[in-house]
Structure 1
Amino acid sequence: MTFNELQKKRRSIYQLGDKLTQTPEEIHHMVNEALREAPSAMNSQSVRVLVLTGDSHKKLWDMTLDRLKAVAKSEEAFAKTAAKINGAFKSGFGTVLYFTDTSVVTDLEEAFPAYADNFYDWSEQAIGISTYAVWLTFAENGIGTSNQHYNPLIDADVAREFDVPDTWKLRAEMPFGSIEGPAGEKDYIEDSVRSRLLK
Protein backbone atom coordinates (compact mmCIF):
# COMPACT_ATOMS: atom_id res chain seq x y z
CA MET A 1 0.00 0.00 0.00
CA THR A 2 1.39 3.42 -0.96
CA PHE A 3 1.35 6.29 1.51
CA ASN A 4 -1.43 8.04 -0.44
CA GLU A 5 -3.50 4.84 -0.42
CA LEU A 6 -3.01 4.60 3.33
CA GLN A 7 -4.10 8.23 3.74
CA LYS A 8 -7.27 7.49 1.78
CA LYS A 9 -7.93 4.46 4.00
CA ARG A 10 -7.68 6.65 7.13
CA ARG A 11 -11.21 7.85 7.86
CA SER A 12 -13.35 8.79 10.85
CA ILE A 13 -15.25 5.68 11.92
CA TYR A 14 -18.33 6.25 14.08
CA GLN A 15 -19.55 2.66 14.33
CA LEU A 16 -17.02 0.92 16.54
CA GLY A 17 -17.02 -2.50 18.13
CA ASP A 18 -14.70 -4.32 20.54
CA LYS A 19 -13.86 -7.26 18.23
CA LEU A 20 -10.16 -6.62 17.59
CA THR A 21 -7.67 -9.42 17.05
CA GLN A 22 -4.86 -7.38 18.62
CA THR A 23 -4.24 -7.51 22.38
CA PRO A 24 -4.06 -4.32 24.49
CA GLU A 25 -0.29 -4.86 24.71
CA GLU A 26 0.03 -5.10 20.92
CA ILE A 27 -1.98 -1.92 20.46
CA HIS A 28 0.13 -0.13 23.07
CA HIS A 29 3.27 -1.20 21.20
CA MET A 30 1.74 -0.01 17.91
CA VAL A 31 0.98 3.41 19.41
CA ASN A 32 4.48 3.71 20.90
CA GLU A 33 6.09 2.86 17.55
CA ALA A 34 4.07 5.57 15.81
CA LEU A 35 4.77 8.19 18.48
CA ARG A 36 8.48 7.44 18.63
CA GLU A 37 8.97 8.44 14.99
CA ALA A 38 6.58 11.42 14.96
CA PRO A 39 8.54 14.67 14.51
CA SER A 40 8.34 17.62 16.90
CA ALA A 41 9.95 21.07 16.95
CA MET A 42 13.54 20.84 18.24
CA ASN A 43 12.82 17.15 18.87
CA SER A 44 10.95 18.31 21.99
CA GLN A 45 8.87 15.09 22.20
CA SER A 46 6.24 16.87 24.32
CA VAL A 47 3.39 14.45 23.50
CA ARG A 48 2.22 12.02 26.18
CA VAL A 49 -0.51 9.39 25.88
CA LEU A 50 -2.62 7.04 27.93
CA VAL A 51 -3.95 3.98 26.12
CA LEU A 52 -7.18 2.96 27.82
CA THR A 53 -8.84 -0.43 27.31
CA GLY A 54 -11.35 -2.52 29.25
CA ASP A 55 -12.83 -0.89 32.34
CA SER A 56 -10.62 2.21 32.01
CA HIS A 57 -11.97 2.87 28.50
CA LYS A 58 -15.58 2.46 29.64
CA LYS A 59 -14.99 4.65 32.71
CA LEU A 60 -13.71 7.47 30.48
CA TRP A 61 -16.90 7.58 28.43
CA ASP A 62 -19.14 7.19 31.49
CA MET A 63 -17.40 10.23 33.03
CA THR A 64 -17.82 12.11 29.76
CA LEU A 65 -21.54 11.31 29.70
CA ASP A 66 -21.89 12.52 33.29
CA ARG A 67 -20.28 15.84 32.39
CA LEU A 68 -22.32 16.22 29.21
CA LYS A 69 -25.56 15.49 31.07
CA ALA A 70 -24.75 18.29 33.51
CA VAL A 71 -24.46 20.85 30.68
CA ALA A 72 -27.14 19.50 28.31
CA LYS A 73 -29.80 22.01 27.25
CA SER A 74 -32.56 19.38 27.33
CA GLU A 75 -33.25 15.69 27.92
CA GLU A 76 -33.79 15.25 24.18
CA ALA A 77 -30.43 16.81 23.34
CA PHE A 78 -28.70 14.64 25.92
CA ALA A 79 -30.38 11.49 24.57
CA LYS A 80 -28.86 12.16 21.14
CA THR A 81 -25.46 12.83 22.69
CA ALA A 82 -25.65 9.67 24.80
CA ALA A 83 -26.51 7.57 21.74
CA LYS A 84 -23.45 8.95 19.96
CA ILE A 85 -21.12 8.39 22.91
CA ASN A 86 -22.35 4.83 23.48
CA GLY A 87 -22.44 3.80 19.83
CA ALA A 88 -19.45 5.58 18.40
CA PHE A 89 -16.98 5.70 21.29
CA LYS A 90 -17.77 3.57 24.36
CA SER A 91 -18.71 0.60 22.16
CA GLY A 92 -15.12 0.40 20.91
CA PHE A 93 -12.12 -1.52 22.21
CA GLY A 94 -10.28 1.41 23.77
CA THR A 95 -9.31 5.08 23.67
CA VAL A 96 -5.99 6.86 23.26
CA LEU A 97 -5.79 10.07 25.30
CA TYR A 98 -3.31 12.65 24.00
CA PHE A 99 -1.64 15.18 26.26
CA THR A 100 0.97 17.91 25.99
CA ASP A 101 3.56 17.84 28.76
CA THR A 102 3.55 21.56 29.51
CA SER A 103 6.77 21.28 31.51
CA VAL A 104 8.59 20.55 28.25
CA VAL A 105 7.06 23.66 26.67
CA THR A 106 7.95 25.82 29.67
CA ASP A 107 11.54 24.55 29.72
CA LEU A 108 11.95 25.40 26.04
CA GLU A 109 10.45 28.85 26.52
CA GLU A 110 13.02 29.53 29.24
CA ALA A 111 15.93 28.00 27.33
CA PHE A 112 15.17 29.81 24.06
CA PRO A 113 13.50 33.14 24.95
CA ALA A 114 13.76 34.45 21.37
CA TYR A 115 11.32 31.72 20.32
CA ALA A 116 9.24 31.66 23.51
CA ASP A 117 6.03 32.81 21.80
CA ASN A 118 6.18 29.86 19.39
CA PHE A 119 6.64 26.83 21.60
CA TYR A 120 2.98 26.35 22.54
CA ASP A 121 1.98 26.48 18.85
CA TRP A 122 4.76 24.04 18.03
CA SER A 123 3.55 21.68 20.75
CA GLU A 124 0.09 21.75 19.13
CA GLN A 125 1.71 20.79 15.84
CA ALA A 126 3.34 17.86 17.62
CA ILE A 127 -0.08 16.73 18.91
CA GLY A 128 -1.49 16.93 15.37
CA ILE A 129 1.37 14.98 13.84
CA SER A 130 1.23 12.36 16.60
CA THR A 131 -2.51 11.79 16.32
CA TYR A 132 -2.16 11.49 12.55
CA ALA A 133 0.70 9.01 12.88
CA VAL A 134 -1.34 6.79 15.22
CA TRP A 135 -4.44 7.18 13.04
CA LEU A 136 -2.52 5.98 9.97
CA THR A 137 -1.10 3.08 11.97
CA PHE A 138 -4.57 2.08 13.07
CA ALA A 139 -5.87 2.33 9.48
CA GLU A 140 -2.99 0.19 8.25
CA ASN A 141 -3.94 -2.49 10.80
CA GLY A 142 -7.67 -2.44 10.10
CA ILE A 143 -8.58 -0.59 13.31
CA GLY A 144 -11.29 2.06 13.15
CA THR A 145 -10.98 5.35 15.01
CA SER A 146 -11.87 9.03 15.12
CA ASN A 147 -10.42 12.07 16.86
CA GLN A 148 -12.55 13.73 19.57
CA HIS A 149 -12.25 16.84 21.74
CA TYR A 150 -14.24 16.68 24.96
CA ASN A 151 -11.47 18.55 26.73
CA PRO A 152 -11.47 20.74 28.80
CA LEU A 153 -14.90 19.55 30.00
CA ILE A 154 -13.47 16.23 31.22
CA ASP A 155 -9.94 17.33 32.16
CA ALA A 156 -10.36 17.28 35.95
CA ASP A 157 -12.14 13.90 35.93
CA VAL A 158 -9.50 12.34 33.68
CA ALA A 159 -6.67 13.70 35.81
CA ARG A 160 -8.21 12.38 39.02
CA GLU A 161 -9.33 8.98 37.70
CA PHE A 162 -6.15 8.11 35.80
CA ASP A 163 -3.55 9.78 38.04
CA VAL A 164 -2.42 12.22 35.33
CA PRO A 165 0.59 14.40 36.21
CA ASP A 166 -0.20 18.08 36.81
CA THR A 167 1.92 19.14 33.84
CA TRP A 168 -0.04 17.04 31.31
CA LYS A 169 -2.71 18.98 29.42
CA LEU A 170 -5.39 16.90 27.67
CA ARG A 171 -5.64 17.73 23.96
CA ALA A 172 -7.65 14.93 22.29
CA GLU A 173 -9.41 11.61 22.74
CA MET A 174 -9.17 8.86 20.10
CA PRO A 175 -11.68 6.01 20.57
CA PHE A 176 -10.77 2.91 18.55
CA GLY A 177 -12.08 -0.55 17.80
CA SER A 178 -13.36 -2.91 15.14
CA ILE A 179 -15.01 -1.27 12.15
CA GLU A 180 -18.73 -2.04 12.37
CA GLY A 181 -19.90 0.38 9.67
CA PRO A 182 -18.39 2.37 6.81
CA ALA A 183 -17.09 5.91 7.01
CA GLY A 184 -19.35 8.66 5.72
CA GLU A 185 -18.82 10.53 2.48
CA LYS A 186 -15.94 12.98 2.45
CA ASP A 187 -16.06 16.29 0.60
CA TYR A 188 -12.94 17.91 -0.82
CA ILE A 189 -12.26 21.54 -1.66
CA GLU A 190 -10.66 22.25 -5.03
CA ASP A 191 -6.88 21.86 -5.25
CA SER A 192 -6.72 25.41 -6.64
CA VAL A 193 -8.17 26.69 -3.34
CA ARG A 194 -5.92 24.43 -1.24
CA SER A 195 -2.58 25.26 -2.83
CA ARG A 196 -0.71 27.37 -5.35
CA LEU A 197 2.45 26.65 -7.33
CA LEU A 198 4.86 29.57 -7.69
CA LYS A 199 7.86 29.48 -10.06
Structure 2
Amino acid sequence: MQAYIAGFALGFSLILAIGAQNAFVLRQGLRNAHVFAVCLTCALSDAVLIAAGVAGFGALAKAVPGLEGVMRFGGAAFLLWYGARTLWAAWKGGEVLEAGEGKAGLRAALLTCLALTWLNPHVYLDTVVLLGSVSAQYADKLGFGAGAVSASFVFFFGLGYGARVLAPVFRRPGSWRVLDLIVGLTMWAIAGKLIWM
Protein backbone atom coordinates (compact mmCIF):
# COMPACT_ATOMS: atom_id res chain seq x y z
CA MET A 1 0.00 0.00 0.00
CA GLN A 2 2.90 2.35 0.72
CA ALA A 3 4.25 1.89 -2.81
CA TYR A 4 0.78 2.52 -4.28
CA ILE A 5 0.38 5.79 -2.34
CA ALA A 6 3.90 6.92 -3.32
CA GLY A 7 3.18 6.13 -6.97
CA PHE A 8 -0.14 7.96 -6.84
CA ALA A 9 1.39 11.03 -5.17
CA LEU A 10 4.34 11.28 -7.55
CA GLY A 11 2.23 10.54 -10.64
CA PHE A 12 -0.37 13.15 -9.67
CA SER A 13 2.24 15.82 -8.91
CA LEU A 14 3.98 15.26 -12.27
CA ILE A 15 0.77 15.52 -14.28
CA LEU A 16 -0.62 18.53 -12.41
CA ALA A 17 1.40 21.17 -14.24
CA ILE A 18 -0.38 22.80 -17.17
CA GLY A 19 0.87 21.48 -20.47
CA ALA A 20 -0.30 20.86 -23.99
CA GLN A 21 -2.18 17.68 -23.12
CA ASN A 22 -3.92 19.13 -20.06
CA ALA A 23 -4.91 22.28 -21.94
CA PHE A 24 -6.47 20.17 -24.69
CA VAL A 25 -8.43 18.07 -22.17
CA LEU A 26 -9.64 21.28 -20.51
CA ARG A 27 -10.86 22.67 -23.85
CA GLN A 28 -12.66 19.44 -24.67
CA GLY A 29 -14.29 19.47 -21.24
CA LEU A 30 -15.40 23.08 -21.62
CA ARG A 31 -16.95 22.26 -24.99
CA ASN A 32 -18.39 18.96 -23.71
CA ALA A 33 -16.86 17.40 -26.82
CA HIS A 34 -15.84 13.71 -26.69
CA VAL A 35 -14.78 14.14 -23.06
CA PHE A 36 -14.90 10.48 -22.10
CA ALA A 37 -12.96 9.32 -25.18
CA VAL A 38 -10.29 12.03 -24.78
CA CYS A 39 -9.85 11.41 -21.03
CA LEU A 40 -9.69 7.65 -21.57
CA THR A 41 -7.13 8.05 -24.38
CA CYS A 42 -4.89 10.23 -22.19
CA ALA A 43 -5.17 7.93 -19.18
CA LEU A 44 -4.56 4.73 -21.19
CA SER A 45 -1.58 6.33 -22.95
CA ASP A 46 -0.12 7.25 -19.57
CA ALA A 47 -0.79 3.72 -18.33
CA VAL A 48 1.21 2.23 -21.23
CA LEU A 49 4.09 4.66 -20.69
CA ILE A 50 4.14 4.15 -16.91
CA ALA A 51 4.10 0.37 -17.37
CA ALA A 52 7.03 0.67 -19.80
CA GLY A 53 8.94 2.81 -17.30
CA VAL A 54 8.29 0.46 -14.38
CA ALA A 55 9.32 -2.47 -16.60
CA GLY A 56 12.69 -0.79 -17.23
CA PHE A 57 12.21 0.83 -20.65
CA GLY A 58 13.59 4.14 -19.37
CA ALA A 59 17.13 2.74 -19.33
CA LEU A 60 16.70 1.50 -22.90
CA ALA A 61 15.41 4.88 -24.11
CA LYS A 62 18.48 6.56 -22.59
CA ALA A 63 20.78 4.03 -24.26
CA VAL A 64 19.51 4.58 -27.84
CA PRO A 65 21.66 7.33 -29.36
CA GLY A 66 19.72 10.15 -31.00
CA LEU A 67 16.28 9.05 -29.78
CA GLU A 68 16.05 11.85 -27.23
CA GLY A 69 16.90 14.49 -29.86
CA VAL A 70 14.33 13.19 -32.34
CA MET A 71 11.66 13.15 -29.63
CA ARG A 72 12.61 16.63 -28.46
CA PHE A 73 12.63 18.39 -31.82
CA GLY A 74 9.66 16.49 -33.22
CA GLY A 75 7.64 17.41 -30.14
CA ALA A 76 8.79 21.04 -30.34
CA ALA A 77 7.73 21.30 -34.00
CA PHE A 78 4.28 19.94 -33.22
CA LEU A 79 3.86 22.27 -30.22
CA LEU A 80 4.92 25.30 -32.27
CA TRP A 81 2.32 24.45 -34.92
CA TYR A 82 -0.44 23.78 -32.38
CA GLY A 83 0.45 26.91 -30.42
CA ALA A 84 0.32 29.04 -33.59
CA ARG A 85 -3.09 27.60 -34.41
CA THR A 86 -4.37 28.40 -30.92
CA LEU A 87 -2.91 31.92 -30.94
CA TRP A 88 -4.60 32.51 -34.31
CA ALA A 89 -7.91 31.48 -32.71
CA ALA A 90 -7.25 33.97 -29.87
CA TRP A 91 -6.50 36.74 -32.39
CA LYS A 92 -9.55 35.91 -34.50
CA GLY A 93 -11.88 35.63 -31.49
CA GLY A 94 -15.62 35.22 -31.75
CA GLU A 95 -15.85 31.80 -30.12
CA VAL A 96 -18.45 31.22 -27.43
CA LEU A 97 -19.52 28.12 -25.56
CA GLU A 98 -22.84 26.96 -26.91
CA ALA A 99 -24.20 23.44 -26.90
CA GLY A 100 -23.43 21.54 -30.08
CA GLU A 101 -21.18 24.23 -31.55
CA GLY A 102 -17.46 24.19 -32.12
CA LYS A 103 -17.13 20.42 -31.76
CA ALA A 104 -14.56 18.71 -33.92
CA GLY A 105 -15.22 15.12 -34.92
CA LEU A 106 -14.19 12.26 -32.66
CA ARG A 107 -11.40 11.16 -35.02
CA ALA A 108 -9.87 14.66 -35.14
CA ALA A 109 -10.12 15.01 -31.35
CA LEU A 110 -8.45 11.64 -30.73
CA LEU A 111 -5.69 12.25 -33.29
CA THR A 112 -4.91 15.62 -31.69
CA CYS A 113 -4.99 14.02 -28.24
CA LEU A 114 -2.64 11.22 -29.33
CA ALA A 115 -0.24 13.69 -30.95
CA LEU A 116 -0.17 15.92 -27.87
CA THR A 117 0.55 12.84 -25.77
CA TRP A 118 2.95 10.74 -27.82
CA LEU A 119 4.89 13.57 -29.51
CA ASN A 120 5.62 15.30 -26.21
CA PRO A 121 9.08 14.39 -24.87
CA HIS A 122 8.13 15.60 -21.39
CA VAL A 123 5.60 12.77 -21.21
CA TYR A 124 8.40 10.26 -21.73
CA LEU A 125 10.68 11.98 -19.25
CA ASP A 126 7.98 12.03 -16.58
CA THR A 127 6.33 8.66 -17.10
CA VAL A 128 9.00 6.40 -18.53
CA VAL A 129 12.26 7.80 -17.17
CA LEU A 130 11.36 9.49 -13.86
CA LEU A 131 8.56 7.19 -12.66
CA GLY A 132 10.51 4.18 -13.94
CA SER A 133 13.61 5.25 -12.01
CA VAL A 134 11.72 5.95 -8.78
CA SER A 135 9.81 2.66 -9.01
CA ALA A 136 13.14 0.80 -8.79
CA GLN A 137 13.38 1.94 -5.14
CA TYR A 138 10.29 -0.08 -4.20
CA ALA A 139 10.04 -3.82 -3.70
CA ASP A 140 6.40 -3.53 -4.84
CA LYS A 141 7.06 -1.98 -8.27
CA LEU A 142 3.67 -3.16 -9.48
CA GLY A 143 1.94 -1.30 -6.63
CA PHE A 144 3.94 1.84 -7.38
CA GLY A 145 3.01 1.66 -11.06
CA ALA A 146 -0.66 1.02 -10.23
CA GLY A 147 -0.67 4.12 -8.02
CA ALA A 148 0.80 6.28 -10.80
CA VAL A 149 -1.71 4.88 -13.33
CA SER A 150 -4.58 5.56 -10.91
CA ALA A 151 -3.40 9.16 -10.56
CA SER A 152 -3.60 9.61 -14.33
CA PHE A 153 -7.17 8.30 -14.48
CA VAL A 154 -8.26 10.47 -11.54
CA PHE A 155 -6.58 13.58 -12.94
CA PHE A 156 -7.74 13.36 -16.55
CA PHE A 157 -11.34 12.47 -15.78
CA GLY A 158 -11.42 15.11 -13.02
CA LEU A 159 -10.06 17.75 -15.42
CA GLY A 160 -12.28 16.77 -18.33
CA TYR A 161 -15.53 16.59 -16.41
CA GLY A 162 -14.60 19.26 -13.85
CA ALA A 163 -14.20 21.80 -16.65
CA ARG A 164 -17.99 22.02 -16.81
CA VAL A 165 -17.90 24.08 -13.63
CA LEU A 166 -16.19 26.79 -15.69
CA ALA A 167 -18.71 26.58 -18.54
CA PRO A 168 -20.68 29.73 -17.52
CA VAL A 169 -17.47 31.79 -17.70
CA PHE A 170 -16.80 30.53 -21.24
CA ARG A 171 -20.14 31.68 -22.58
CA ARG A 172 -18.37 35.02 -23.15
CA PRO A 173 -16.11 35.29 -26.23
CA GLY A 174 -13.45 37.20 -24.27
CA SER A 175 -12.91 34.20 -21.97
CA TRP A 176 -12.11 31.95 -24.93
CA ARG A 177 -9.65 34.49 -26.27
CA VAL A 178 -7.84 34.59 -22.92
CA LEU A 179 -7.81 30.77 -22.70
CA ASP A 180 -6.53 30.44 -26.28
CA LEU A 181 -3.83 33.04 -25.59
CA ILE A 182 -2.69 31.22 -22.43
CA VAL A 183 -2.75 27.82 -24.15
CA GLY A 184 -0.89 29.08 -27.23
CA LEU A 185 1.81 30.80 -25.17
CA THR A 186 2.13 27.70 -22.97
CA MET A 187 2.64 25.51 -26.05
CA TRP A 188 5.32 27.88 -27.37
CA ALA A 189 7.02 28.08 -23.96
CA ILE A 190 7.18 24.27 -23.76
CA ALA A 191 8.47 24.11 -27.35
CA GLY A 192 11.14 26.70 -26.49
CA LYS A 193 12.23 24.69 -23.45
CA LEU A 194 12.48 21.56 -25.63
CA ILE A 195 14.60 23.32 -28.26
CA TRP A 196 17.02 24.98 -25.83
CA MET A 197 17.25 22.36 -23.09
Fold shared per TM-score above 0.5: no
Q: Which has the higher helix share?
A: 2
TM-score by length of 2: 0.29
- Between structure 1 and structure 2, the one with the greater Rg is 1
TM-score by length of 1: 0.29
Greater RCO, 1 or 2 (C-alpha within 8 Å, sep 6+): 2
Q: Which has the higher strand share?
A: 1
